[in-house]
Structure 1
């Protein structure tokens, strides 16, 4: 039987939590056929840290990310995002919160093909109801190494460059937390390393908070901490492990 482990990730310095889950459970289905994707999870992601979330298929990784980001409502428990209790927020409140306090990066990039890199990034500001500051957009693109690609459309960019545009789009609103769902999953090894190095720089220089779901031990090893899920509960966590240690722990959970 799996044992629930509740803990707060180690902090490098005193800081408020970017995201906190308190006794969170998430169930799907009817009372006659219920699946509990998360089971009484309590977890804090301190501001200015990068946490990787791993586990076997069906362990609850994506559900944890969706609940933490306010994309799904929890069945029980509480969720705090940027210090605010969003557990009972309505759809309009959640939408506004996500546009202002949350950035998203996905495996599939999700860029709009008819827009340039600059326009894709500016779109986040428009959706957040913020005036589009072109100098800010250019600065953010420069920060991800794409100052000379601002006028290029996605089809004119490599996969790694598209993902960096997606990161710039997620960061331009200066979110409290960046949620990344398999951000290197569609990239070759070299491009993946560039993206991971960029995320590390954001944490170290801007104190950006990142929560990343990944199946890749090398990507997880780039984070400050790795949380492991199985059957909807937290079963372990490691601080700054090597890719080998992560792979061994994951293999044990899948065995």
Structure 2
């Protein structure tokens, strides 16, 4: 199933296949996937365990090389980019948010947010770093270390860290998976705000129908293939479609 192009794309996969294993034990995690992510949109990716969700995210972000097909970031083909080129590209153009936050425990919230700029050898503006923390509601917590923050606050620091370089695409892998329901709602509200107010492009893998329903569209994978897409669905619609795939 191919999702049709609608407007300028922030990222795109064209007939992508990703295989693992040796010659006699090959596993095809992605099987001819074509999908485009419009700028300023939020796409949720769902599917049963082993359907290829995380592999799709990793290939789109340049974390894994594809076995065949093309991967584009904006108009740039990154399919055959070298490791050093991909590292530089990720630091400039891509933001990541993970379930486990991945904050450095010895650094304050402010220092964690500034880290991507330092790694990219960009000028670190204290004013800009603090502005990003303020935008996620943590202006009063900038000097706190991760152990002094709740799970939801740590995830907001992680989002601020991902946004400080103003990435073309924000990739989120189960961003609410380790949070309680109240903290999850706060994080999802923040992601929605980023899309609606600043035009951020977000691609999010999730197992939670309520989280997926906050996105503009939900793409469903099964056995490495895109099998369905829902636009602005309800939580019930997402849950029912996911259940039908898990029971297939």
TM range (shorter): over 0.9
CA distance in 1, matches of 2:185, 2:114: 26
For the 8 Å contact 1:184–1:195, the answer to whether it is kept is yes
Aligned to 2:81: 89
Aligned to 2:116: 124
Aligned to 2:3: 7
CA deviation profile, 1:183-221 (whole Å, cap 9, x unmatched): 000000000000000000000011000000000000000
Secondary structure of the residue aligned to 1:204 is helix
Q: If the length of structure 2 is used for normalisation, what is the TM-score? A: 0.98
Secondary structure of the residue aligned to 1:210 is strand
Is 1:101 aligned with 2:97?
no
CA distance in 2, matches of 1:153, 1:86: 36
For the 8 Å contact 1:50–1:210, the answer to whether it is kept is yes
**For structure 2, which runs of at least 5 residues remain unmatched after alignment?**
none
Aligned to 2:102: 110
Give me the CA root mean square deviation.
0.7
Determine which of 130, 134, 150 is the counterpart of 1:142.
134
Q: If the length of structure 1 is used for normalisation, what is the TM-score? A: 0.96
For the 8 Å contact 1:225–1:237, the answer to whether it is kept is yes
CA distance in 1, matches of 2:4, 2:107: 41
For the 8 Å contact 1:8–1:45, the answer to whether it is kept is no
Is 1:167 aligned with 2:163?
no
Aligned to 2:40: 48
CA deviation profile, 1:157-201 (whole Å, cap 9, x unmatched): 000000000000000000000000000000000000000000000
The alpha carbon displacement at 1:7 in A equals 1.5
Matches within 5 A, 1:180-191: 180-191=172-183
CA deviation profile, 1:74-111 (whole Å, cap 9, x unmatched): 00000001321000000000000000000000000000
CA distance in 1, matches of 2:166, 2:99: 21
| Aligned structure 1 segments of 4 or more residues deviating by more than 2 angstroms | none
Secondary structure of the residue aligned to 2:18 is strand
CA distance in 2, matches of 1:8, 1:193: 31
Secondary structure of the residue aligned to 1:238 is strand
For the 8 Å contact 1:82–1:101, the answer to whether it is kept is no
Determine which of 239, 243, 249 is the counterpart of 2:241.
249
CA deviation profile, 1:117-155 (whole Å, cap 9, x unmatched): 000000011112211011000000000000000000000
CA distance in 1, matches of 2:196, 2:4: 20
The alpha carbon displacement at 1:8 in A equals 2.6
Aligned to 1:68: 60
CA distance in 1, matches of 2:201, 2:235: 21
Is 1:202 aligned with 2:198?
no
